[in-house]
Amino acid sequence: MITLDGVAKTYGDVHALGPVDLEIPTGGVTALVGPNGAGKSTMLTIVGRLLGADAGRVTVGGLDVVTARPRELAKRLAILRQENHFVARLTVRQLVQLGRFPHSQGRITRDDEAAVDTALGFLDLVDLQHRFLDELSGGQRQRAYVAMVLAQDTEYVLLDEPLNNLDMQHAVSMMARLRRAADELGKTVVLVVHDINFASAYADQVVAMTEGRVRYVGTPREVMTDAVLSDVFATPVTVVEGPGYPLAVYYRA
C-alpha cells in the first residue's frame, strides 16, 4: 500500500500540492488524472522520493520514502519521470541493464540478463536493443525508459505519462502490458495518464486532481460521469457507454 499523509509542496510562491491524504491499495492499476498543473507530477515524484515534500509523510509498502535505505527502496519502488533527457550515449540494452543496478550493483548476473530480456520483450524492443538511444524516435526511447523501470522488477511502479510520444498501437500495447504486469506479476502500478479514456479502459482506480488537491477517488465507473469530469477538466464532457467501459467525449461542445 502507498499512503500519503498531509503531503504538501510549494515552489517559491506557487502552491503546487496539498495537503493530500491518500491511500493507494496494493496491486492493480491506479490512474492519476487531472488538467495541466493539477499537481500530478509533483505528487508522483514526491511518492517516488525524487522530490522532497514541505510537509507530510509518504510510505510505500510500509517504508517511509525519506528515511528508508536507498538501496532497499530501489528494490521495492521504481519511478519514471515525465521528462527524461539523458545525454549518455548508451544502447537500449545497456540502459535497461542499468535498471538492474539495485539488485546487481553493476555486476550483471544471469538472473539480471533474464530480467533484461523479459523487459525488452515486454516492450517490443528486442530488435532495437543494440541501437543507441540517441538514434531512436521519441516513442521508441520512451519504451526503452519504461523497460528500464520494469527491469528494476519492483513491486511498486510509478510512471508519469508513460504514453507520451507513443503512437496508437504502442500506447495500447503499453497499457495492456502494464495491466498484465499488475494482473500476472502482482505489481502495483500508479500512472499519470493524459487521456482519460485510457484510465477508463485499464485502471482499477482513478484519482482525479485539480489545483493540488485530490478531488475524486473511485473506480472508473464512479469517476467517469458527466458531472465529475466536467468539473475536473473545467470543460463540458459527456460520458457514453463504450465497448465494456465508459468513454468520455469532449471534442466539441
Q: How many CA atoms lie within 13 A of 59 on its CB side?
A: 10
Residue 55's binding partner out of other proteins, ligand ADP, Mg ion, none, with CB under 5 to 8 Å set by partner kind: none
Does residue 11 belong to the site contacting ligand ADP (CB under 6 A)? yes
Residues 123-142, one symbol each (x = binds other proteins by CB under 8 A, - = not), give ----xx-xxx-x--------
* CB atoms inside a 10 Å sphere around CB 179: 17
Does 110 bind other proteins (CB under 8 A)? Our answer is no
Interaction mask 8-47, Mg ion, x per CB under 5 A: ---------------------------------x------
Q: Which residue's CB is nearer to other proteins, number 83 or number 241?
A: 83
CB atoms within 10 A of CB 121: 12
Q: Return d(Cα 214, Cα 40) in angstroms, integer.
A: 9
Retrieve residue 42's grid coordinates. Answer: 509533483
Does residue 36 touch ligand ADP according to CB under 6 A?
Answer: yes
Q: Does 100 help bind ligand ADP (rule: CB under 6 A)? A: no
Q: Which of 4, 8, 18, 40 is in the footprint of ligand ADP by CB under 6 A?
A: 40
Neighbours of 169 (CB within 10 A): 10
CB of 192 to ligand ADP, least distance (A): 6
Q: How far is the CB of 211 from ligand ADP (least distance, A)?
A: 8
Q: What are phi and psi of 60, to 5 degrees?
A: -125, 115
Whole-number Å distance between alpha carbons of 247 and 130: 39
Strand order in the sheet with 14-24: 14-24, 2-11, 55-60, 63-64
Q: Does 50 bind ligand ADP (CB under 6 A)?
A: no
Check binding of 162 to ligand ADP (CB under 6 A): no
Contact partners, residue 216, CB within 8 Å, separation at least 6: 206, 207, 208, 222, 223, 228, 232
Residue 194 binds to other proteins (criterion: CB under 8 A): no
Give the interface with ligand ADP as residue ranges (CB under 6 A): 11, 14, 16, 34, 36-42
